[in-house]
Amino acid sequence: MFWMAVFLGCFLVGFAALGYSYVVYPWSLERRYRKRFAGGDPLLADPETLEPLAIDAREAPRVAIVFAAYNEAAVLPAKLESMRALRYPRGKLHIWIGSDGSTDSTDALVQAAADEGMPIRLLRLEGRNGKASVLNALKAALDAEPDPPELLMLTDANILYDQRVLMAMAPHFQDPDIGLVGAVVRHPDGLAAEGIARQEGAYIQRENRLKHREGALWGAMMGAFGACYMVRRRDFPELPPHYLMEDFYASMQQLAFGRKAILEPRAICYEDLPDAVAQEFRRKVRISAGNMQNLFRWSGLLWPPGRVARVFWAHKVLRWLGPLWLLAMMIGAVGLTVLDGRWLWLLLAQLLLWASPILDALARRLGWHWPPLRLIGYFCSMNAALLVGFFRYLTGIQSTAWQPPTRQAAPPPTTNG
Indicate if the alpha-carbon torsion angle 366, 367, 373, 377 is positive or negative.
Answer: positive
- Selection from 172, 204, 178 nearest residue 191 by Cα: 204
**Helix (H) / strand (E) containing 130:** none
In this prediction, residue 416 carries a pLDDT of 40
Q: Which residues share a beta bridge with 152?
A: 64, 231
Instruction: Spell out the domains of the chain, with CATH numbers in brackets.
Output: 1-417 (3.90.550.10)
pLDDT of residue 220: 97
pLDDT at 361: 84
CA distance 147 to 141: 12
What was the pLDDT predicted at 417? Answer: 36
Nearest CA among 257, 344, 380, 369 for reference residue 308: 257
Buried b / exposed e across 115-141, counting CB within 10 Å, b at 16+? eeebbbbbbebeeebbbbbbbbbbbee
Predicted local distance difference test score (pLDDT) of residue 396: 82
pTM of the predicted structure, to 2 decimals: 0.91
How far apart (Å, rounded) are the C-alpha atoms in residues 233 and 268?
Answer: 21
Q: What is the mean pLDDT of each run of 10 residues along the chain (417 residues)?
A: 93 97 96 88 74 74 96 95 94 96 96 96 93 95 96 96 93 96 83 62 90 97 95 95 90 96 95 75 90 94 93 97 96 96 95 91 82 87 93 81 62 47
Residues in the chain: 417
pLDDT of residue 41: 83
Please give the pLDDT value at position 398.
Answer: 66
Please give the C-alpha separations between residue 4 and each of 89, 334, 340, 379, in angstroms, as whole numbers: 68, 11, 9, 28
The pLDDT, as a whole number, for residue 342 is 93
pLDDT reported for residue 412 = 57
Interatomic CA distance for residues 188 and 411, integer angstroms? 6
pLDDT of residue 415: 42
HSE toward the beta carbon, residue 221, CA cutoff 13 A: 32
**Res 405: pLDDT:** 62
Quote the pLDDT of residue 414: 46
